[in-house]
Amino acid sequence: MKISPSATPLLLLAGIALIWGSQFLFNQVVIQDLPPLTLSAGRATIGALTLAVIGWLRPSEKKAQAAPGMWKTYCLLAFFEGLLPLFLLSWGQTRVDSSIAAILMGTIPIFTILLAPAFVPGNHWNAPAILSVICGFAGIVILVGPNLHAESSGLLGELAVLGAAASVSVSLLLFNRLGDVSPVTAVRHILTLAAIPLVLLALIHDQPWTLHITPPSIVALLILGIFCAGIVYLMFAQLIKLSGSVYTSLVNYLTPVVGVLMGGAIIGESVGLNAWLALAFIVSALLINQPELLQRLWTRSAA
């Protein structure tokens, strides 16, 4: 069956949201067998190898090499995009459900708005940005609030996932320093640099050869590496090429929703009213700061 060209962006968008939204579910499966360091190392290594194969198969990627002056930026990105968030998300999910992790990771654009003036010269907060941050953090308080007076394990897990979201937001701002570099090439370098210390730390601390990993966890880890840290970036690059960054930013709204729905439907996680309310606040916060996206969606629906 031939796919209509007009349907391709929508299919790519849905595919990306499904892949990134499912990562929390697959993390929850693997974390039952593997400690956070080994999970992070495995995901980064498999992702880097996947992107290396994609680069080898695509002539345009074969010629893409990092400029000598860019390696410092790549090392920073490897820490903030790879090493730190992969570990914090994995560690956090040993203490919180996948649906909660999905909602908290949905705050990445909110942290990006908050931190942008410190990283991007001439970038200042405006009224929509301030309102967006307030609305987003109201969602965080609604979600995290019940654990402030409960057992500390859940709160620490939520703070770890928030730390992962903040770390990724820093990496998004650092990406501007790379210029016009393909996401496939950039993430390949980033995951390769992140995998090296993660693998060394996992070998020293976890001694993975002593661990027992079940077949479902092996499959979940392969999906996390091949799809969630590999193929999805090829889809992401193609969607930006076809529809631009504004349309592609819709992924930010769909990913936490997909994560919550998958956690509830597939592994039976209980999603409370405060979680749905927090999700509504966070998605609203993202929309407040995207008037161009709202206008584009309105124009499409009217047509």
Top-confidence residue, 268 or 207: 207
pTM to 2 decimal places:
0.86
**Mean pLDDT calculated for residue range 190-214:** 95
Q: Give the per-residue pLDDT at 1.
A: 46
- pLDDT grade for 151, boundaries at 50, 70 and 90: low
Residue 226 binned pLDDT confidence (cut-offs 50, 70, 90): very high
- φ, ψ dihedrals at 259, nearest 5°: -60, -45
Annotate the chain with DSSP letters as a single string: -PPPGGGHHHHHHHHHHHHHHHHHHHHHHHTTTS-HHHHHHHHHHHHHHHHHHHHHH-HHHHT----GGGHHHHHHHIIIIIIHHHHHHHHHTTTS-HHHHHHHHTTHHHHHHHHHHHHSTT----HHHHHHHHHHHHHHHHHHGGGTTS-HHHHHHHHHHHHHHHHHHHHHHHGGGG-S--HHHHHHHHHHHHHHHHHHHHHHHT-GGG----HHHHHHHHHIIIIIIIIHHHHHHHHHHHHHHHHHTTHHHHHHHHHHHHHHHHS-----HHHHHHHHHHHHHHHHT-HHHHHHHHHHHH-
* Of 100, 87, 137, 133, residue with least CA distance to 114: 133
**Least trusted range by pLDDT, from 45-49, 108-112, 210-214, 220-224:** 108-112
Q: Which residues lie below 8 Å from residue 36, measured CB to CB, with a gap of 6+?
A: 87, 90, 91, 94
Name which of 187-201, 207-221, 223-237, 259-273 the model is least confident about: 259-273
Alpha-carbon gap, residue 111 to 105, rounded angstroms: 10
How far is Cα 59 from Cα 290, in angstroms, rounded to an integer? 35
Q: Does the pLDDT value for residue 227 go beyond 50?
A: yes
Sign of CA dihedral 302, 133, 162, 264: negative
Tokens 């929508």, residue?
10
pLDDT for the residue numbered 148: 60
Break the chain into its structural domains and give their ranges: 5-302
In Å, what is the CA distance from 222 to each residue of 45, 47, 55? 10, 9, 19
What is the pLDDT at residue 295? 56
Q: Are 286 and 251 in contact (CB under 8 A)?
A: no
